[in-house]
A and B are shown apart, each in its own frame.
Chain A
Amino acid sequence: MANVAVADLPASKPSFTLNIDWSKLATHIVLLALVIIWTLPTVGLLVSSVRDKDQLTVSGWWSALTTTQRTGGGRTLAADAQVLENGVYVISGNLLSEDEQGRTLSAYGLTNNTFGDNPVGTSVAPKEGGELTVNADGSYTWVSETEFDFKRGQRVLYTAQIPPRFTLDNYREVLTSEGIDRSFINSFTVTIPATIIPILIAAFAAYALAWMQFPGRGYLVAIVVGLLVVPLQMSLIPILQLYNGVAPMLGVEAKSYLGIWLAHTGFGLPLAIYLLRNYMAGLPKEIMESARMDGASHFKIFTTMVLPLSFPALASFAIFQFLWVWNDLLVATVFLGVGDNELVLTGRLRELIGSRGDNWEILTSGAFISIIVPLIVFFSLQRYFVRGLLAGSVK
């Protein structure tokens, strides 16, 4: 738009046009740089999670599309595979297993010190006798005039160009053997009740604080605002002690799903009440008053008018709470056990960082599984999230 306007200006001001373009260009470049810096780490994680785990450890994810040079090894067949051809004994086959097909060998050798010494196509003389020739595609022929007699095949080491390989094996591994699948279910188990239960409780309280007259209302609002910033660290120990004391009396475990659902409900309420109260207070006064005139009770007004009208605020809070509970590590660590049936994704990921810190194929795919759900929620409901953010920050 601005460009069009500038272009329409009389030609007597060419320098002005030039200035605008330069600053626009600079803006483009700076913003692009920021966007790249901000997204690159996540892209790296995603790309790495689908790379072959052997390639992942030897080359950077940015070179995922290029071939890598690596050393490898294979074993020839043993003497029992030999055939007599034109008067010589021949063993032939391919050093590359099915998985390894596609590698291009450049040089090979028979010991750790000589694997780069012999270009492909040339021959070496193994101690078992005869002449062994290895080709670029991994195929080999081993020819001898005397009969071969050995039990194990000859080990051959090589350097090869390995084409990029993408795979979902890493995901298969974390889902089946690292317990991420179970944690995924556990995270949902924690998150869904912990998101839904506070909403109703908060909605009623918010309505009372927004539209009902009673002594001490202002103080209650002030208390809610104050509680918004109380660090959770303050609550953990007393609640933990409370659970430890009450659970045996009821004959249940102190660390249970019920405990964490209720805890998240308590911790989420200040924001829920604050968000909903602000929104409800902004609803048109006339509607409320005319409904009151018609003899509708507060209960009726709340359920039939205010609740449906407050949908955007309810959605905002629901997204907040969902993301916060899903991403929470602190409350889950303190109030839930570490067994397979209770460990949530964040807790599992933390455990993997400790136990599998160097296995990037596990960490990257595990991390991606843990962030995919919030990312989907976030991108599909960003509008409500932003609205909640704007309403939720205390002005």
Chain B
Amino acid sequence: MFDQVLSALTTVVIGVGVCVLYFWGANWVLDRLLGGDNETSKNDGLRTSIRPWIFLFPALFFLSLYLIYPVFATVWLSLFDSSGRKFIGLGNFIWAIQDGNFLQSVYNNLLWLIIVPIGATIFGLIVAVMADRLWWGNFAKSMIFMPMAISFVGASVIWKFVYDYRSGDSEQIGILNAIVNGLGMEPQVWLQIPFWNSFFLMLILIWIQTGFAMVILSAALRGIPEETLEAARIDGANDLQIFFSIMIPQIFGTIIVVWTTITIVVLKVFDIVLAMTNGQWDTQVLANLMFDWLTRGVDFGRSSTIALVIMIAVLPIMIWNIREVNKEEGTR
């Protein structure tokens, strides 16, 4: 254990040391080789054109190795069987569209993609609008924001406890069933009710992501010029009218940002399903199905295929983001 902590700290020191040595050393070498007292303008130009790449090299190396190369490798792997050696063309895709679990996952993912972003945005918006009007608004925001810091597995334990079910006459220790019981209804095994159980899982992600939506939307709301709101009030608009006719249109761009960001989170989250139901009772989603084929099925081909489907779902947002940034910067 002591060795382990020591090796972690050593890695930090070595890692930082290597970085510093590289940046400083490469820079020094560049100045030495192409510099000197009688430096020519040609050398100067060469140095100027090399230096950015010294700054960029380590980052580009990591990005290429860990993110760019794998995208192509995964596409390639999806054309092979479980061993990764035998080429089967589109075999995995044909398997996928005939596989009940895969289709179930796509269907559930579509539900998640509709419900979670809408839920988180609506709750985030409500809190953002309300909190700014109250003296204890910042406290409220902190509390709503808190689940952002909790891991998906941790959140799953928290909510598993909320949904807990005790059979027979035992007292319910899950708060949801206790409330249901208190209202005179039958306690339920929430996670095993087909179709609706997915919604109980979505609730966990909404619980986590509302804080994110709230922070972003709150900042956007503060950006609305006070004169605009004042003018509307003078014209006799009530709070609801101001909210729907002034605030929403003004922050619509931000709502799209929140929406796309949460959409991506939804596509990537597998921990919640893994910890709560592991895809049983018709709750499977693509990310967990991919994880299942990777760790339990040990089928790199099918696993890659499912990853690719997630990637394709993310693609429109990726292209949109790049276009937005280019619009702002202009590709230089």
Contacts and interface: CB of A to CB of B under 8 A. Distances in A.
A222 B325 contact: yes
A374 interface: yes
B142 A269 contact: no
Contacts of A189: 4-5, 7-8
Interface of A: 23-24, 27-28, 30-32, 34-35, 38-42, 44-45, 48, 56-62, 182, 185-186, 188-189, 192-193, 196-198, 200-202, 204-205, 207-209, 212-214, 217-239, 241, 257-258, 261-263, 265-267, 269-270, 273, 297-299, 302, 323, 326-330, 333-334, 341, 346, 349-350, 353, 360, 363-364, 366-367, 370-371, 374-375, 377-379, 382, 386, 389-390, 393-395
A204 B261 contact: no
Contacts of B306: 233
Interface string B2-31: 001101110110011001100110010001
A38 B211 CA distance: 10
A198 B63 CA distance: 11
How many interface residues does chain B have, given as a range? 35 or more
Interface of B: 1, 4-5, 7-9, 11-12, 15-16, 19-20, 23-24, 27, 31, 48-49, 51-53, 55-56, 58-60, 62-63, 65-71, 73-74, 77, 84, 123, 126-127, 130-131, 133-134, 137, 140, 142-154, 156-162, 164, 170-175, 178, 207, 210, 212, 215-216, 219, 239, 253, 257-258, 260-261, 264, 267-268, 270-271, 274-275, 287, 290-291, 294-295, 300, 303-304, 306-308, 310-311, 314, 317-318, 321-322, 324-326, 328-332
A44 B158 contact: yes
Instruction: List 8 A-B pairs, minimum CB-CB distance, nearest first.
Output: A266-B66, A327-B151, A205-B59, A238-B73, A378-B149, A218-B331, A208-B55, A238-B70
Contacts of A370: 151, 153-154
Contact of B157 (A38, A299, A349): A349
B173 A217 contact: no
B317 A389 contact: no
A258 B14 CA distance: 12
Contacts of A207: 55
Contacts, number: 349
A35 B239 contact: no
Contact of B56 (A208, A261, A360): A208
A196 B14 CA distance: 11
A315 B116 CA distance: 29
B171 to A, nearest CB: 6
B157 A363 contact: yes
A288 B321 CA distance: 29
Contacts of A326: 151
Contacts of B212: 389
B127 A34 contact: yes
A30 B161 contact: no
A225 B321 contact: yes
A27 B134 contact: yes
A197 B331 contact: no
B142 A382 contact: yes
Contacts of A261: 11, 15
